[in-house]
């Protein structure tokens, strides 16, 4: 693994994840997770402080990045709910069918290698009445920004751990058979090409 992926990228991902807008979104969505919870792409664990022990029984949090999981470990140990960190990709999760009541994703969908496969896996491991809570940046709603996003993605994805600016989380969820319930989309602070965000909840249709 390169020095960039081992040291620099984990630092930058954690720094970006501390922005005011993202913090607000974590505070809004993560405490709603209930029962047995799966967090996909936990990164350095910035969501872990927001789980509500009155609702969440335990959190199983996956990420393929060992350096990010190492950063998440002290946050997992200090969380108010039991947290298990698992090295895995969203495309091949080592869990039986229907294992979880809730799933949380804050911006892994931009980075996974195969979003359709990752969401199919999520449907498999989520219980039929389960809920997905998500905050994902993605394709903006105006053509000018979309052009920038499509143009920048080939270079941006190389330096940012495969982050794509031009994915449409709402369309990906619908194609994977999730019914969005209260999805809000809009630009947050900072550059529109990076901050256009979709947040809400969804259930298997």
Can residue 67 be called a binding residue for ligand SAM (CB under 6 A)? no
Can residue 153 be called a binding residue for ligand SAM (CB under 6 A)? no
Per CB under 6 A, which region of 34-42, 49-57, 121-129, 180-188 contacts ligand SAM? 34-42
Can residue 31 be called a binding residue for ligand SAM (CB under 6 A)? no
Q: Which of 60, 106, 131, 153 binds ligand SAM (CB under 6 A)?
A: 106
Residue from 204, 41, 29, 26 nearest 125 by CA:
204
Our CA angle for 136, 51, 191, nearest 5°, is 25
CB closer to ligand SAM out of 43 and 138? 43
Antiparallel, parallel or unpaired: β 184-187 and 196-204? antiparallel
Around Cβ 153, how many Cβ atoms within 10 Å? 18
Shortest Cβ 203–ligand SAM spacing (Å)? 21
Around Cβ 26, how many Cβ atoms within 10 Å? 20
Helix (H) or strand (E) holding 87: strand 83-87
Can residue 65 be called a binding residue for ligand SAM (CB under 6 A)? yes
According to DSSP, the residues that pair with 136 across neighbouring strands are 198
Can residue 43 be called a binding residue for ligand SAM (CB under 6 A)? yes
Can residue 76 be called a binding residue for ligand SAM (CB under 6 A)? no
194 vs 1: CA distance, rounded Å: 26
Shortest Cβ 92–ligand SAM spacing (Å)? 9
Number of amino acids touching ligand SAM (CB under 6 A):
23
- The SS3 call for residue 121 is helix
CB closer to ligand SAM out of 4 and 129? 4
């Amino acid at each position: 693994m390169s020095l960039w992926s081992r040291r620099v990228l984990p630092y930058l991902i954690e720094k970006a994840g501390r922005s005011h807008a993202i913090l607000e979104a974590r505070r809004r969505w993560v405490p709603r997770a209930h029962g047995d919870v799966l967090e996909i792409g936990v990164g350095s664990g910035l969501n872990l402080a927001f789980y509500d022990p009155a609702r969440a029984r335990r959190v199983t949090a996956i990420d393929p990045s060992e350096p990010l999981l190492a950063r998440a470990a002290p946050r997992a140990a200090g969380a108010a709910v039991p947290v298990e960190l698992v090295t895995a990709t969203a495309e091949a999760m080592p869990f039986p069918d229907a294992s979880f009541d809730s799933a949380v994703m804050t911006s892994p969908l931009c980075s996974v290698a195969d979003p359709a496969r990752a969401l199919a896996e999520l449907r498999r491991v989520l219980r039929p009445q389960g809920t997905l809570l998500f905050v994902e940046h993605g394709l903006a709603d105006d053509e000018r920004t979309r052009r920038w996003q499509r143009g920048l993605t080939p270079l941006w994805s190389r330096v940012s751990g495969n982050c794509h600016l031009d994915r449409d989380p709402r369309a990906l969820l619908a194609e994977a058979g999730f019914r969005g319930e209260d999805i809000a989309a809009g630009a947050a602070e900072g550059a529109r090409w990076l901050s256009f965000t979709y947040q809400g909840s969804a259930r298997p249709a």
